[in-house]
């Protein structure tokens, strides 16, 4: 198998894994919406915002899965999935650090009974999977070089503004 074909196979498999996981998460939340609302009500959000998030998160996951499934929109889907996972992981880390009055929930099926560390590991793995697919799709060096350049620029801006 040629290198390009191997790369395409890896990209397709990893994208399918991410997409199926998003579909499962959305299905899990939508099939028991009352439970999802209850879990959101226990978070730091107002009741109204919690109910909006209980609907919006699975709808977003369905949209992301659709974007990932259609080749022309795959990169948009990967970037958006990466952002969503980063936000959810950041919220989880802040909750684990005691920044909120309540602990964040592991609001997805098989992760519900797991620890916060298990949820953090799961999110980290999927962030790395999405980054790997992005790197393969865009070419390793160009993507990594741009990412490192942006990181360097942000550090310089922060240093100069402080």
Neighbours of 144 (CB within 10 A): 14
CB distance 53 to 45 below 8 Å = yes
Distance of CA 102 to the CA centre of its chain: 22
pLDDT at 115 (0 to 100):
73
pLDDT in tens, 8-46: 899 999 999 999 999 998 998 888 877 777 777 777 777
Condensed to tens digits (0 to 9), the pLDDT of residues 47-71 reads: 888 888 888 999 999 999 999 999 9
Q: Say yes or no to pLDDT of 108 above 70.
A: no
Under DSSP, the state recorded for 46 is: -
Give the per-residue pLDDT at 162: 62
Contact present, 68 and 19 (Cβ < 8 Å): yes
154 touches 145 (CB < 8 A) = no
Q: List pLDDT tens digits, range 119-159.
A: 888 899 999 999 999 888 877 656 667 778 888 888 887 78
Q: What are the angstrom distances between the C-alpha of 14 and each of 9, 19, 20, 25, 125?
A: 9, 9, 10, 17, 11
Task: For tokens 């098989």, name the residue.
Answer: 110
The pLDDT of residue 39 is 74
């Amino acid at each position: 198998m040629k290198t390009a074909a191997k790369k395409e196979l890896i990209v397709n498999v990893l994208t399918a894994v991410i997409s199926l996981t998003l579909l499962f998460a959305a299905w899990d939340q939508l099939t028991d919406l009352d439970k999802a609302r209850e879990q959101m009500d226990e978070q730091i959000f107002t009741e109204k915002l919690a109910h909006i998030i209980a609907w919006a998160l699975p709808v977003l996951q369905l949209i992301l899965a659709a974007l990932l499934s259609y080749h022309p929109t795959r990169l948009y889907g990967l970037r958006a999935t990466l952002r969503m996972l980063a936000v959810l992981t950041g919220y989880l880390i802040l909750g684990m650090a005691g920044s909120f009055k309540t602990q964040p929930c592991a609001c997805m099926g098989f992760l519900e009974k797991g620890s916060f560390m298990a949820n953090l590991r799961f999110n980290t793995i999927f962030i790395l999977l999405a980054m790997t697919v992005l790197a393969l799709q865009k070419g390793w060096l160009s993507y990594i070089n741009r990412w490192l350049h942006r990181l360097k620029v942000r550090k310089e801006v922060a240093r100069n503004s402080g």
